Chains A and B, each alone.
Chain A
């Protein structure tokens, strides 16, 4: 089962990379970009037996550094044929 973990910097944490991307977008002439924050997307292929709590533990123990980062877990709905 595909599970996506989005890791983003907490509000208020400076994001030098986001700032550089912002400058580059402006340099390319894109107007109206107010702010850019860069994060990570981690895709996990998990056995259906792996529960939400376990994914959350993975995030807390390794995938995100909760001192500076937030994480959001998105579990893909089970495909119809797998349920049959």
Chain B
């Protein structure tokens, strides 16, 4: 599986993402700086990591979503390349228009940094194939702007089309319908606030995130 991790000024989970991808898939991802106008050829997966790109100026993810490399990411996603956005990566994907809705300031105004219980909503995607639908998993979150909001019609569509990949098992940040992660309509783009790359080894205390990468390896080869 050939993967790339996009690096923005202010990304801080890019190396964790690279370690997770290399450890699970056995292949080192390409690290691609945000100013690059093109991506390496033949990618199976593009990972947009967590962090605070551009210091969260204007809106979280807003500046990063307009950087040169994102035009290439949008084109690749339209060709069916899998795109995984975690935390700030999820914010960037909504700002870039690859996923619907927006991630707003947490309802409680606090930065939330803890393990959270999630329910898997969809086990049919390339990202979630190693999970069971309805399964409870624990993956850490660390964010200030994770409060997912969309208009009622969009929320209905996400639910109806099985595009809620992960849901918080209890209140976390005020997200509509406790949404923690969503898929695009084609199913090849996943944005999620929890950090699967921080839960892949016993030393992390959690390994529930590992199966996301194992599922990608199984689906994308």
Contacts and interface: CB of A to CB of B under 8 A. Distances in A.
B109 interface: yes
Contacts of B106: 16
Interface of A is mostly: helix
A61 B109 contact: no
A28 interface: no
A65 B149 contact: no
Contact of A62 (B62, B108, B174): B62
B102 A65 contact: yes
A63 interface: yes
A50 interface: no
B197 interface: no
Contacts, number: 36
Interface of B is mostly: loop
Given A61-B66, A68-B104, A20 B109 contact: yes
Interface in B19-60: 58-59
A28 to B, nearest CB: 18
A67 B58 contact: no
B68 to A, nearest CB: 14
Interface of A: 13-14, 16-17, 20, 61-63, 65, 67-68
